[in-house]
Amino acid sequence: MSTETPESGRSVAVLFPIPGGGPYTYRVPSDWEIPPATGCRVSAPLGRKLLTGLVTGPGLPVPAGVRLRALSASLDNRPLLTPDLLELIAWLAEYYFCEPGEALRSVVPGPFLRVGDRTVHLSEAAQADPPTGLPPAQGRLIELLQARGKARVSSLRDELDAGPLQRALTVLENAGLVTLSDCLPRVPADKTDSLVSAVAPLPEAEELERLLRRSPRQRQCLDYLSGLAHPVEAAFLSRQMGFSPEVVRTLAGRGLARITQVRRLRDPFQSLDLPPYDHPTPSAAQTAVIAAISRDLDCHRVFLLHGVTGSGKTLVYLEILRPVLAAGRQAVVLVPEIALTPQTTARFRAVFGDRVAVLHSGLSDGERYDIWREIRAGRYRVAVGPRSAVFAPFENLGLIILDEEHESTYKQTDLTPRYHARDVAIRRMRSAGGPVVLGSATPSLETWAEAESGNVVRLSLPERVAGRLLPEVRLGDLRHGWTGSDKNGVTPALLKEIGFALEARGQVLLLLNRRGFSNFVLCPDCGGIVECPNCRISLTVHKRLGRLLCHYCGHQQPAPEVCPACGSASLERIGAGTEQVESALREAFPERVVDRMDLDTTGGKWSHHEILERLRTGATDILVGTQMIAKGLDFPNVVLVGVVNADTAMNLPDFRSTERTFQLLAQVAGRTGRGERGGEVLIQTFNPAHPAVRAAVHHDYTGFARRELAVRLEAGYPPYVRLLNVIFSGEQEPVVERFAGDSAALVAALIQRKHLQDRLTLLGPAPCPLERLRGRWRRHLILKSREPELIGSLGEFLARRLKPPAAGACRVTLDRDPASLM
Ligand code: ADP
Ligand code: ZN
Ligand code: ZN
């Protein structure tokens, strides 16, 4: 077959943000003077739809005689994506075994790639001579168009199913009965403010008198405006000054006032009250670390900043940003979650002002769109945000910082590709040429092992700032303290400690990583537990809702009076959650203000912020919460941290459960003793000898890492091997089971054929620990190898070869470097 390369520059490759999204080659219409550059958005027809895609490069050679479809519209004059981000998309697709279109969808905010639509009209011929005797779908379509004249194709989907609709459109278009035209994708409209000013110079006094004699309000308004040095917002004029929009419009109509529209940036973080921040002078230890990183800003190196809680890591970040910005480069600062780390964000804003973009997860599509566009336009120099901010479209990125690099939120787990922001950051800076700084008091064992082997440069801040000490950590042994009266976990010992702290006018944080009132409902007669109908998970009691709730799929139902299995009426509610602890504390300290922070109390866009503000300003005495309260808060008046039950995640069947437990305990303990008053920690547990608990008591990260790494080595888990978790899920258990089994056989045969027995281990198929979730049965295979390349080629093989049996009945997910195997 002969191929030809279309005339250079007259065809381009376009990638669409969907599975099966190409890249595909399109012809640049001959009347376009300049072809769209690589990285620009275009709209182009794909199938019968008009979609928005991204130009990824010149068109590919096509077989002779193939007629290319033409681009419909060019949407950018300047590339939206820089070459390094295009490269990153290709890398994401390759490394995480997904399609480039899926990678694109994770990189670029949705509004930029909103699907376009088409309009269908009845043709003149069909209007003049309405067709008759058509098959039902075509007939229905013609009828609808006769009634409406034209319609958006998307709106027709309410009337006709997609398949018949598409066929009907094709047939009718070919028969010349309908015509289709493009509508460009809608982008969120800019928000604008109207600014009003008096014209200068104003007409002579006599002339004004003549114009405004019978309009006293206009006269007053003009007097007000002409006394101002700056234009003023129209909204302010009407709301604060009482000049109606009509008054302002008439003034403008008479040529006396000018109204200009300015685009407003929708950045809610800008309008929030941010806590004040005094910028301290770096200590000797901080200075040494700052110097070590600043020396090497032009080459790619990964640093681990291992600094104990309260060692002043944020100041280090701020100081290393200065030389990066001074060199004309930009920086990204990743935080686990903006809402939970408002202080970090505030500090960056305090030092770098409005050159800092905050990519909050609560931003609306329109807000995210604005900020991205402004970053692209060069207005910002620093972006602070959660995982996806690693894709901020800076032109000349010089540094990426990951604060609390051990946090699991850096791994995307709900969408393909399941990327880890740390690995993406390292990849991005390797090609951009600049450092990555990973900061944590409790580094992930992956990063720690890299530091041990010298691939990552370790820098330490072993002590807290200003000579402050790490808090004393004591254990409450629940095995002996159990009295029955404190079923809710709030033991007399804990109550006593809280009482002391409050008397000393200190504040208290109480961690229980389990929301709701009671963990589950147990029938003591048959031993049954009330489970979610969609998941193989017990339902949690939520008292305020008066219902049982599934924390995985959101299913709700009334609490049963009798056991659904045996009818027994003596159901018991077992295991306290945050809601119960909160109410126990309210009872114990009726004069005090008890607040709670967990998923149930943080539904509002700014509710995290409000809860933390109440704590910061001293309005709250005791804050009860889930892991949300363990994230990096810096409140000097917190003198006691209580862990109601340290064991909630200890025994999960997951290789990371010990590491996660340690990180949570060490981090929450780090929230106290940050002021001059010092602080204490009380950890209640049934497992005082557990390595995570022991290490947290002694603030012994290094010892913990050494022991846990030995366990991982022995058991064959990361960082000593690389994992690929292959998850099969579907509504019918036998289908999932068979698919998983067949896939395992495929892999086993490959291992045999290629003699990979010593280099690759296949585990499973086995039911996932969460065997049923959201109505789907789940099984998995785990592949282990010491060689990342082998995992790479195997994953690529599986992505190509594993075809689910019946469309939609079964799904397969490839999770490379999984954060958890649940
Ligand atoms: P980390 O992130 O390491 O837990 P932070 O960066 O939140 O610690 O700093 C803890 C506190 O110490 C903050 O209130 C910060 O302002 C303060 N701090 C940081 N560096 C210094 C310093 N050199 N001198 C005095 N206070 C400091
Ligand atoms: Zn029962
Ligand atoms: Zn459920």
Residue nearest to atom 13 of ligand 1 (CA): 312
The residue to mutate among 321, 465, 468, having the most atoms of ligand 1 within 8 angstroms of its beta carbon, is 465
Q: Which ligand is nearest to the CA of 552?
A: 3
- Work out the percent of the chain whose per-residue pLDDT is above 70: 93
Ligand 2 is an ion; its neighbours by CB within 5 Å are 523, 525-526, 528, 563, 565-566, 568
So what's the pLDDT on residue 2?
A: 44
pLDDT number for residue 1: 40
Residue 656 Cα, ligand 1 centroid: separation in angstroms?
A: 29
Quick check: 293 pLDDT over 50? yes
Ligand 1 atom nearest to 279, measured from its CA: 16
Q: What b/e readout covers 386-414, taking b as 16+ CB neighbours within 10 angstroms?
A: bbbbbbbbbeebbbbbbbbbbbebbbbee
The ligand 1 atom nearest the CA atom of 286: 23
Residues 598/511, Cβ–Cβ less than 8 Å? no
Residues 6+ apart with CB under 8 A from 549: 516, 539, 540, 542, 555, 556
The confidence band for 297, taking pLDDT boundaries of 50, 70 and 90, is very high
Instruction: Flag whether pLDDT at 292 surpasses 80.
Output: yes
Half-sphere exposure of 65 (CA within 13 A, CB side): 2
Q: What is the 3-state secondary structure (H, E, C) of 317-368?
A: HHHHHHHHHHCCCEEEEECCCHHHCHHHHHHHHHHHHHHEEECCCCCCHHHH
pLDDT band at residue 35 using 50, 70 and 90 as cut-offs: confident
Q: What separation in Å is there between the alpha carbon of 337 and the centre of ligand 2?
A: 42
Q: What is the pLDDT of residue 216?
A: 84
Write the DSSP symbol of residue 624: E
Ligand 1: atom nearest CA of 314 is 6
- How large is the average pLDDT for residues 600-609? 75
Atom 9 in ligand 1: residue holding the nearest Cα: 312
Measured in angstroms, how far is the CA atom of residue 465 from the centroid of ligand 1?
A: 6
Take residue 706 and report the two structure tokens written for it. Answer: 């050494």
| Lowest mean pLDDT, pick from 14-18, 279-283, 420-424, 658-662 | 279-283
- What is the Cα–Cα distance from 763 to 754, expressed in whole angstroms? 18
- Is the peptide bond prior to 765 cis by the omega test (within 30 degrees of 0)? yes
Of ligand 1's listed atoms, the one at least distance from the Cα of 403 is 2
Within 453-568, residue ranges assigned H as helices are 478-481, 492-503
Taking CA atoms only, the protein residue closest to ligand 1 atom 14 is 634
pLDDT at 116: 61
Q: Which ligand lies nearest the alpha carbon of 634?
A: 1
For residue 549, the ligand closest to its alpha carbon is 3
Closest Cα to residue 244, out of 254, 236, 253? Answer: 236
Give the pLDDT of residue 184. Answer: 54
780 pLDDT higher than 90: yes
Closest residue by Cα to atom 17, ligand 1, is: 312
How far does the centroid of ligand 1 lie from the alpha carbon of residue 283, in Å?
10
Mutate to test the pocket of ligand 1, among 315, 635, 668, 701 (most ligand atoms within 8 A of CB): 315
Q: How far is the CA of 551 from the centre of ligand 3 (A)?
A: 7
Closest approach atom of ligand 1 to CA 347? 16
Which atom of ligand 1 approaches the CA of 309 most closely?
4
- Percent pLDDT > 90 in the chain is 50
Distance (Å) from CA 527 to ligand 2 centroid: 6
Length of the chain: 822
Half-sphere exposure of 222 (CA within 13 A, CB side): 27
What is residue 676's predicted lDDT score, i.e. its pLDDT?
85
Which amino acid is residue 680, in one-letter code? Answer: E
Alpha carbon distances (Å) from 172 to 118, 125, 304: 15, 12, 63
Ligand 1: residue whose CA is nearest its atom 24: 280
pTM assigned to the model: 0.82
Q: Which ligand is nearest to the CA of 439?
A: 1
pLDDT tens string 97-125? 999 999 999 999 888 887 666 788 898 88
**Which of 57-66, 85-94, 112-121, 283-292 is the least confident region?**
112-121
Mutational pocket test of ligand 1: of 314, 333, 404, 638, the residue with most ligand atoms within 8 Å of the beta carbon: 314
pLDDT at 173 over 90: no
Confidence (pLDDT) at 534: 87
Tokens (6 digits) for 150: 């034209």
Ligand nearest to the CA of 532: 3
Q: Per residue in 189-230, pLDDT tens?
A: 666 778 888 888 888 888 888 888 888 888 888 887 887 766
Task: Give the pLDDT score at 162.
Answer: 65
| 534 Cα–ligand 3 center, Å | 5
Q: What's the CA-to-centroid distance between 422 and ligand 1, angstroms?
A: 24
Measure 774 CA to ligand 3 centroid, in angstroms. Answer: 5
Beta-carbon neighbour count of residue 460 at 10 Å?
Answer: 16
Pick from 437, 468, 634 the residue to mutate for probing ligand 1's pocket: most ligand atoms within 8 Å of its CB: 634
Q: To the nearest whole number, what is the mean pLDDT of the chain?
A: 88
Q: Is the pLDDT of residue 332 over 90?
A: yes
pLDDT higher than 50, residue 599: yes
Instruction: Tell me how far the alpha carbon of residue 294 lies from the centroid of ligand 1, in angstroms.
Output: 19
**Spacing, Cα 538 to ligand 3 middle (Å):** 8
Residue 410 and residue 446 in contact, taking contact as beta carbons nearer than 8 Å: no
pLDDT higher at 663 or 6: 663
With cut-offs at 50, 70 and 90, classify the pLDDT of residue 485.
low
Contact between 105 and 115 under an 8 Å Cβ cutoff? The reply is: no
DSSP string across 736-791: HHHHHHHHHHHHHHHHHHTT-TTT-EEEEEEEEEEEEETTEEEEEEEEEES-HHHH
> pLDDT band at residue 47, thresholds of 50, 70 and 90?
confident
Q: Whose CA is nearest to atom 15 of ligand 1?
A: 312
Least confident of 6-20, 49-63, 563-577, 766-780: 6-20
For residue 529, the CA-to-ligand 2 centroid distance in Å is 8
pLDDT band at 273 (very low <50, low <70, confident <90, very high): low
- Ligand nearest, relative to CA of residue 569: 2
- Residue 46: which of 75, 26, 64 has the closest Cα? 26
| Shortest-distance ligand to the CA of residue 530 | 2
Q: Tell how far the Cα of 639 is from the centroid of ligand 1, in angstroms.
A: 17
Q: What's the average model confidence in pLDDT over 569-594?
A: 91
CA angle centred on 646, ends 640 and 650, rounded to 5°: 155
- In angstroms, the CA 225 to CA 696 distance is 64
DSSP classification of residue 68: P
Which residues have C-beta atoms less than 6 Å from ligand 1?
280-283, 286, 307, 309-315, 465-466, 634
What is the number of the ligand 1 atom nearest to the C-alpha of 308?
Answer: 3
Interval 127-157: pLDDT, tens: 888 888 899 889 999 988 988 888 887 788 7
Query: Ligand 2 centre from 531 Cα, in Å?
Result: 12
Residue 648 Cα to ligand 2 middle (Å): 25
For the ranges 300-309, 336-345, 402-411, 582-591, the lowest mean pLDDT is seen at 336-345
Phi, psi angle pair for 732, to nearest 5°: -105, 120
Instruction: Find the ligand nearest to 522 CA.
Output: 2
491/476 Cα distance (integer angstroms): 9
Which residue is closest in CA terms to ligand 1's atom 20?
Answer: 312
Q: Is the pLDDT of residue 382 over 60?
A: yes
Å from CA of 467 to ligand 1 middle: 11
Kindly state the average pLDDT of the residues 765-793.
93
Q: What pLDDT does residue 220 have?
A: 82
Q: What is the pLDDT of residues 240-268, one digit of tens each?
A: 677 888 999 999 999 999 998 876 655 55
AA identity, residue 117: D
Residues 6+ away with beta carbon under 8 Å from 345: 269, 274, 335, 338, 356, 358, 384
Nearest 10 degrees: Cα torsion 633, 639, 644, 649 = 40
Strands, sheet with 556-558, edge to edge from the N-terminal-most edge strand: 556-558, 547-549, 540-542, 518-522, 572-576
364 vs 94, more confident:
94
Q: pLDDT value at position 190? A: 60
Q: Could you say which ligand is closest to the alpha carbon of residue 535?
A: 3
Residue nearest to atom 18 of ligand 1 (CA): 312
Please check the confidence at residue 399 and state whether its pLDDT lies above 90.
Answer: yes
Mean pLDDT of 463-470: 90
CA of 572 to the centre of ligand 2 (A): 10
